[in-house]
Amino acid sequence: MTMPMSATTPAADTSCQGVGPRPEYPRPDFDRSERWLSLNGEWSFLRGEADPAIAEWPERIVVPFAWETPASGVGAHWLERAWYRRSFEVPSQWRGDRLILHFGAVHHVATVWIDGREVGAHRGGYDPFEFDVTELAAPGEAHQLVVRVDAPGDKRSISHGKQRSLPLDDYDSCSFTPSSGIWQTVWLEPRAATFLDSLQLGSSDRLDAITVRGSVRGPEAETATVAITVDGSAAGTVEVDASTLAAGVAIPLASPVLWEPENPHLYDVVVEVRGDSGLDRVRSSTGLRRFETRGDAFYLNGRRISLRGVLDQGYWPQTGITAPDDDAFVRDLELARELGFTLVRKHLKLEDPRFLYHADRLGVLVWAEPPSTGRFSDAASRDMEAQVAAMVQRDASHPSIVVWGLYNEEWGLDWDLPGDPAKQDAVRRAVALLRSLDPSRPLVDNSGWTHLDTDLVDWHVYDEHPAGWATKVRELLSSDRPTFPVAVAVDRVVDKSLMITGDVPRDRPLLNSEFGGGYTSVERGWNLHWQTQELRRYERVSGYVWTELTDIEQETAGIVDAHRAIKDHGGRPPRDANADTVPVFDVTPVAPGHDLDTDGKVVAFTMAVSHHGAEPLSLDVRTGWSPRFGESPHTPPQPVGTVAVTPFRLSEPLAVSVGLPDDPSLRRLHVMLVDPRTNAIVGRGALDVAD
């Protein structure tokens, strides 16, 4: 079709910098930011089926915010087609280069024209794509860019994660407002005719070199020289040809520094493709680290760790699945870390690459997974596999990613994985694909429910009360072939098996990757402490993922609200529940403010200590009193015993007996675990006493 030219053209951006909303360079993991031009900002917008060649364009939309969002300026819901238009001018300094038009992500099908000539189309709502538009856009001249986006209301056969569908997904009750259209940055950049097309960075087996693998495309691909420079390398700049780069190159390091959460050291990597047609330079970074499973435990760089994670769905009130600004990623990651979590499970979403860039540099571990489909079909399983391939291709260089996920709770499998061989085949294909693309990370085949072929055995069990939760956990962990109840609808509860056949394997980590309870923030703070300490009671459990970090629309299970303000947790800081070292009380709590009873004179209970630190410790146990819901003791700490702790082993029990204070307002007993070498509190818990 022929598209109309615009009557106005903005001035050329000769600075080649980002401007407007989300001005930062969008791909720090594949960085050509020396020369680029952001196309974010205000575009003309046209709804629906109107012919854009003759229609008026009465609206404006702010890119890169989805058209449902307030930030877009449109706020259109259940719109299945829309058109975007803007003018641009290519900087004259780019003459002689190839001109590439990039889209970070568009949900769901994008068709692109320049000056009325179709450039191409892309299907898939979460992965980046690009077009070479050199022949269509001359430097120094005005051009018009038009994008048509088709975003079906019925999303059940496409990867869409938590975006709501009509007709409804089976999991509609925990879905949210869709984010349709352009939702990540659009930009132009020049590059040489022969260029670096892909780049994967990693670590050598001996943790003494950065591995570099990539592909070169263009007319001189076979003769071009590839120069690789790794900051801190022992070899300086290494020159290879394209075939050697494709096979992989190890760049030895002079004094290797490992990437760890406590010291997230990153190595800068520069890859230059040099040919007669010009120079293409790409910058990236990675960390030197090894993450692995040994038996039922996780190891990072040879050191055993536990995964203490939080579910993060990546939604914001004004901007949907697009972060309002780059700092929003930093705030969420720092918030998770301040709350004591070591891992973020980015749930059913291929997040913006800048999130992973910040996770790398801040030292936050990430569980990454593709968006889910809604109903099973051959088309849906193929769409899922396409997202898996895109996820690994884009994100595998990030050291922060330590777990790959695939399906979740049989979503997109009609909640019937055990009963349908075709669905089982689909899961096995996805597993085989992911392992072939990246065998270096453990994967989860079907998170939370029935497992077929998995490196981690995870499960999802919810209960609104710690006592019910403890019973479910005990029953699950005491059985070789456990089942557990799952509410698949308001009026339908079914029993799910943890394994499709056979016993739960003992040679793989076991973790609860979704759990939580309580209807108010105080109840959830209470449950967070009691439920996490219950998991710490079992040495077989290698990690957990609490649901969840933030509130989203109707889902108010967040530790913080949708605007990232921390909620009232009844004086129980989440960081205490998620510490390396925590008390584990042999108490059945009744309600917030009423954890245990007393005879009016003495509080007596038994406790142990779970320690996930690196070294054995001998800890003093001290107690103090405050009013109920107090965060710290008002009375001087009193010693009640000593506990010897060994990493990843529950300590021997300690019987505690403490006199009740005369002041009736003091009814919260704080239990502090103190390292006598430094007098530092390394763990703490609290019990509210009813008399």
List the chain domain ranges. Answer: 37-191, 195-276, 292-578, 583-690
pLDDT of residue 7: 30
> Among residues of the chain, what percentage have pLDDT more than 90?
93
Q: For 67-89, what is the mean pLDDT? A: 98
**Quick one: pLDDT band at residue 490, thresholds 50, 70, 90?**
low
Q: Which CATH architecture has domain 292-578?
A: Alpha-Beta Barrel (3.20)
pLDDT of residue 49: 83
Residue 19's CB: how many other CB atoms inside 10 A? Answer: 12
Q: Report which residue type is found at 662.
A: D
Decide if pLDDT at 12 tops 60: no
Decide if pLDDT at 120 tops 90: yes
Decide if pLDDT at 14 tops 70: no
- Decide if 195-276 and 583-690 have a common fold: yes
CATH no. of 583-690: 2.60.40
**Quick one: pLDDT band at residue 190, thresholds 50, 70, 90?**
very high
Decide if pLDDT at 222 tops 60: yes
pLDDT of residue 4: 37
Decide if pLDDT at 217 tops 90: yes
Question: For residue 451, what is the DSSP state?
Answer: B
Identify the three-state secondary structure at position 391: helix
Decide if pLDDT at 107 tops 50: yes
Identify the three-state secondary structure at position 205: coil
Q: Report which residue type is found at 127.
A: D
Distance between CA atoms of residues 179 and 174, nearest Å: 15
Q: Within its chain, how far is the Cα of 320 from the centroid?
A: 16
Q: For 541-569, what is the mean pLDDT? A: 97
Q: For 362-371, what is the mean pLDDT? A: 98
pTM of the full structure = 0.96
Decide if pLDDT at 8 tops 50: no
Q: For 362-385, what is the mean pLDDT? A: 97
Distance between CA atoms of residues 266 and 214, nearest Å: 19
Q: For 57-85, what is the mean pLDDT? A: 97
Question: Selecting from 2.60.120.260, 3.40.50.1370, 3.50.50.60, 3.40.50.720, what CATH number does the domain 37-191 have?
Answer: 2.60.120.260
Q: For 34-40, what is the mean pLDDT? A: 97
Query: Distances in Å between the alpha carbon of 591 and those of 465, 525, 570?
Result: 8, 12, 12
Confirm if 310 and 336 have CB atoms less than 8 A apart. Answer: yes
More confident residue, 13 or 442: 442
Residue 675's CB: how many other CB atoms inside 10 A? Answer: 16
**Quick one: pLDDT band at residue 308, thresholds 50, 70, 90?**
very high
Decide if pLDDT at 11 tops 90: no
> Among residues of the chain, what percentage have pLDDT more than 70?
97
Chain-wide mean pLDDT for the chain? 95
Distance between CA atoms of residues 347 and 162, nearest Å: 9
> Where do we find the tokens 């005719």?
193
**Residue 489: strand pairing partners:** 492
Confirm if 557 and 563 have CB atoms less than 8 A apart. Answer: no
CATH 2.30.30 corresponds to the domain 195-276: no
Decide if pLDDT at 496 tops 50: yes
Residue 382's CB: how many other CB atoms inside 10 A? Answer: 13
Distance between CA atoms of residues 49 and 586, nearest Å: 65
Q: Within its chain, how far is the Cα of 512 from the centroid?
A: 16
pLDDT of residue 17: 59
Peptide bond preceding 553 in cis form (omega within 30 of 0): no
What's phi and psi for 489, nearest 5 deg? Answer: -160, 170
Q: pLDDT per residue over 135-150, tens digit each?
A: 999 999 999 999 999 9
Q: For 480-505, what is the mean pLDDT? A: 85
Decide if pLDDT at 53 tops 90: no
Burial state string for 46-58 with b = 16 or more CB within 10 A and e = fewer than 16? bbeeeebeeeebe
